[in-house]
A and B are shown apart, each in its own frame.
Chain A
Amino acid sequence: MTDLIRLTDVEKSYTRGKEKIAIFDKLTMRIEQGDFVAIMGPSGSGKTTLLNLLGGTDRPDKGSIEFDGKNIEKLSEGKLTAWRSANVGFIFQFYNLMPILTAAQNVELPLLLTRLSPKQRRENVATALKIVGLEDRAKHRPRELSGGQQQRVAIARAIVSDPKLLLADEPTGDLDRTTADEILSTLQTLNRELGKTIIMVTHDAEAAKFAKRTLHLDKGRFDERELAA
């Protein structure tokens, strides 16, 4: 298998006042194309920070991040933004849909950054909604949908421009068990059938079982045996 992501000696710290808080110190890891990784760990261990680095919404202080063989850590702000829209789909704990847009319009948002024609956009939106099983809810607004349905819309939005990587930060954190399991099997299907590489942060051991493997993060360090596996 080929590596989709390679982190080499990544360092990241924040300064709060005078205090410097190191989050990652020489973090090295790789994620294969087609993997489905669950990341677990206590609050403040750096899970979200890691997703931000992987998704190009933050930059490392040192070290390199390769995606598909290309370094992204030194891209200009504009190039990084464009890279993000082409390669990464994001799924949030609270869905982050635009309340005034319909489900279909929400899903269409990333396509507004492409050169697709309105007709192509409509087709892609319809396909994405079909994949998450919401083709009959296209005209509904977020407040007319249940939490699980809203998260499905968000997943459709994340996959509509066909990115290789999906990043999910506690995607089921706000859902009940049954709904959570439905969402997780959808992610599993995306991984198995469409070959999406998925990295999912979760506090829920049940949720982690849907992934191919689970990595435990603590104080910015992964369990070495898990990483090596």
Chain B
Amino acid sequence: MATLLDQINAVTALNVRSIPQRGWMSAASVIAVALTITVLLFFLALANGLRATVEGSGSEDVAIVIREGSNAELNSVVTRDQLAILATGPNVAQRNEAPLISGELLVIVDGVKRSTGTNANMPFRGIGQEGLALRRGVTITRGRMFNPGTNEIVVGAGLLREFSGFEFGQTIRIRGSDWQVVGVFEAPGTVFESELWADIAVTQSLFNRPNVFQTMRVQLTSAAAMEAFTRWAASDARLEGLEILSERAYYARQASQSTQGFMAIAWILGIMMAIGALAGALNTMYSSVQARSAEIATLRIIGFSGWAAFFGTMVEALALSALGGVLGVAIAFLAFNGRTTSTLGSGFTQLVFKFDLSPGLVITAIVVAIIIGLFGGLFPGIRAARQKPQLELAAA
């Protein structure tokens, strides 16, 4: 006897080659799987892109100081006195004998979205002199940094892509004051790319928030210094009510709600659609077995085993769903991978990020497609295997 594998090969080849005879139905089930995979990937890539953006933004040796319990910068307050105390903490990095710190104020301004032409919120950040140095990976790609004490702003490249009216060299009017765009900065894959930056003192005065800071950035000498710095701050009564955490932890916390939301949508929608696609696959495979019943009976009479009939059906189902999976991934790549999108992050600021189809997500998607194929082929395969090898049944 030849091996079972040879039998399975022969029967599978027969099945797969006869798929075109059930063309429309097979195509429909391929498309159902493809759509499921595309939708699943859409939301997973969204979550992934958001997480990558946010985590990429954070350094481990930069401490963020924020008022305890404030989920967003906007409802945080750090006083000028607290700022001064924190500047004297242990392991605070120095430059030119001054601490590398930046007290910051975030205000929300309106901008016109390019895609819709409507107004949307944009974050406008006043930063200290060391604000740029305190952000890893940020480079001025056009023009220069604003000069302290002036109405100059620099604009993030991401924001520039999404909003109109902030082009390099423009003078823009915000809340009754004129600002000049003197530079464009890039901070690839980080939240900062979606912001406008100006001098903290000018921002405080022109937005009428004298001496108010919301957050503070402190450059520590190393990531390992974070713990000592935090412990020191906790022991000082004047700093009570402030929370200190690494920039990375801070951004991860901010994004977790959104990413979890996207993941939940991805899986709820994905599973619902997968059930639909499974129903389609079952239907297709049952009719395939039905259409091939005389063929299967003939093969069984000739001496092919029930296993060969089972696997032939199984492999046909898997081939169709894998094809659907690959198609779904291809659609995802063409339709949205790498595209930028934006979302209202916590604090109602516009966060620009990319759909990110990682290899892991592609594998997840293919696995989902294969699971649909496995279940879609299982029961019809059992029916095929159980078909009796009898002449009457073989009568076409």
Contacts and interface: CB of A to CB of B under 8 A. Distances in A.
Interface of A: 48, 51-52, 55, 57-58, 77-78, 81-82, 84-86, 90, 92-94, 96, 98-101, 109-110, 112-115, 157, 169
B301 interface: yes
Nearest to A114: B2
B30 interface: no
Nearest to B292: A98
Given A92-B391, A96-B394, A109 B301 contact: no
A169 to B, nearest CB: 5
Interface in B368-396: 388-392, 394-396
Interface residues of B, number: 28
A155 to B, nearest CB: 13
B205 to A, nearest CB: 82
A109 B298 CA distance: 11
* Residue picked from A98, A113, A157, A169, most chain B C-beta under 10 Å: A113
Contacts of B18: 99-100
A109 B300 CA distance: 11
A82 B303 contact: yes
A98 B10 contact: no
Contact of A90 (B2, B301, B306): B301
A92 B6 contact: no
B48 interface: no
Contact of B391 (A110, A112, A157, A169): A169
A78 B307 CA distance: 10
B76 interface: no
B382 to A, nearest CB: 15
A167 B7 CA distance: 23
B298 A96 contact: yes
Contacts of B334: none
A157 B394 CA distance: 15
A112 B10 contact: yes
B167 interface: no
Contact of A57 (B10, B14, B305, B389): B389
Interface string B25-63: 000000000000000000000000000000000000000
B175 interface: no
Contacts of B390: 52, 57-58
A100 to B, nearest CB: 5
Q: Is the interface of B mostly helix, strand, loop or mixed?
A: helix
Contacts of B6: 112-113
Given A58-B390, A113-B7, A100 B302 contact: no
Contacts of B299: 109
Nearest to A167: B391
Given A94-B396, A98-B14, A101-B14, A52 B391 contact: yes
Contacts of B389: 57, 81, 84
Which 6 residue pairs are nearest across A and B when measured between Cβ atoms?
A85-B303, A94-B396, A96-B298, A112-B10, A57-B389, A113-B303
Nearest to A82: B1
Contacts of A100: 14, 17-18, 21
Contacts of A85: 302-303
A171 B394 CA distance: 13
14 contacts: A57-B389, A58-B388, A81-B300, A82-B303, A84-B303, A85-B303, A92-B391, A99-B18, A100-B17, A110-B303, A112-B10, A113-B6, A115-B2, A169-B391
B295 A98 contact: yes
A109 B14 CA distance: 11
Contact of A94 (B2, B21, B388, B395): B395
* Residue picked from B303, B305, B395, B396, most chain A C-beta under 10 Å: B303
A109 B303 CA distance: 10
Contacts of A90: 301-302, 391
Contacts of B388: 57-58
A115 B1 contact: yes
B83 interface: no
